[in-house]
Amino acid sequence: MSKGSNPSSVTTTSSSEPSEFIRPYFQQAVDSAQDLYEGSTPNFFPNATYTDFAPETSTALNLTTARALAGNPLLNQSQIQASNILAGNYLNPTTNPYSKKLYDQMAGDVISDVNSQFTEAGRFGSGANQEILTQELGQLANQVYGDQYNRERDIMANTMATAPGLGEMDYNDIAKLQGVGVEKEGLENAKLQDAIARYDYEQQKPYIKLNQYLGSLGASVPTNTIETSPVFRNTGAGLLKGAGMGANLAGQIPGMNPLYGAIGGGLLGGFF
Domain count, the chain: 2
3 domain residue, yes or no: no
Domain limit, last residue, from 168, 198, 232: 168
Task: Indicate the pTM of the whole model.
Answer: 0.48
* Predicted pLDDT at 233: 62
Both 204 and 257 in one domain: the answer is yes
**Residue 237, domain extent:** 186-272
Q: Are 237 and 186 in contact (CB under 8 A)?
A: no
Residues with Cβ within 8 Å of residue 260, at least 6 apart in sequence: 246, 250
pLDDT reading at 64 higher than 60: yes
Q: How confident is the model at residue 254 (pLDDT cuts 50, 70, 90)?
A: very low
d(Cα 246, Cα 16) in Å, to the nearest integer?
Answer: 40
Mean pLDDT of all residues in 204-232: 72
Domain limit, last residue, from 168, 199, 221: 168
* Predicted pLDDT at 213: 80
Both 163 and 200 in one domain: the answer is no
* Predicted pLDDT at 183: 92
Q: What is the SS3 assignment for the chain?
A: CCCCCCCCCCCCCCCCCCCCCCHHHHHHHHHHHHHHHHCCCCCCCCCCCCCCCCHHHHHHHHHHHHHHHHCCHHHHHHHHHHHHHHCCCCCCHHHCHHHHHHHHHHHHHHHHHHHHHHHHCCCCCCHHHHHHHHHHHHHHHHHHHHHHHHHHHHHHHHHHHHHHHHHHCHHHHHHHHHHHHHHHHHHHHHHHHHHHHHHHHHHHHHHHHHHHHHHHCCCCCCCCCCCCCCCCCCHHHHHHHHHHHHHHHHHCCCCCCHHHHHHHHHHHHCCC
91 domain residue, yes or no: yes
Residues with Cβ within 8 Å of residue 156, at least 6 apart in sequence: 85, 86, 88
34 domain residue, yes or no: no
* Predicted pLDDT at 187: 92
d(Cα 183, Cα 75) in Å, to the nearest integer?
Answer: 26
123 domain residue, yes or no: yes
pLDDT reading at 43 higher than 60: yes
Q: Are 66 and 177 in contact (CB under 8 A)?
A: no
* Predicted pLDDT at 216: 76
Which amino acid is residue 59, in one-letter code?
T
Domain limit, last residue, from 141, 168, 195: 168
pLDDT reading at 232 higher than 70: no
* Predicted pLDDT at 218: 74
* Predicted pLDDT at 271: 36
Q: Are 50 and 193 in contact (CB under 8 A)?
A: yes
Q: Are 226 and 249 in contact (CB under 8 A)?
A: no
* Predicted pLDDT at 184: 92
Mean pLDDT of all residues in 163-173: 82
* Predicted pLDDT at 270: 41
101 domain residue, yes or no: yes
pLDDT digits (tens, 9 = 90+) for 7-17: 555 666 665 66
Phi, psi of 254 (to 5 degrees): -55, 130
Q: What's the alpha-carbon Rg for the chain, to the nearest Å?
A: 46
Q: How confident is the model at residue 180 (pLDDT cuts 50, 70, 90)?
A: very high
* Predicted pLDDT at 8: 56
* Mean predicted lDDT score pLDDT of the chain: 75
Both 223 and 266 in one domain: the answer is yes
pLDDT reading at 264 higher than 80: no
pLDDT reading at 224 higher than 80: no
Q: Residue 33: is it exposed, middle or buried by C-beta count within 10 angstroms (0-12/13-18/19+)? A: middle
36 domain residue, yes or no: no
Both 198 and 262 in one domain: the answer is yes
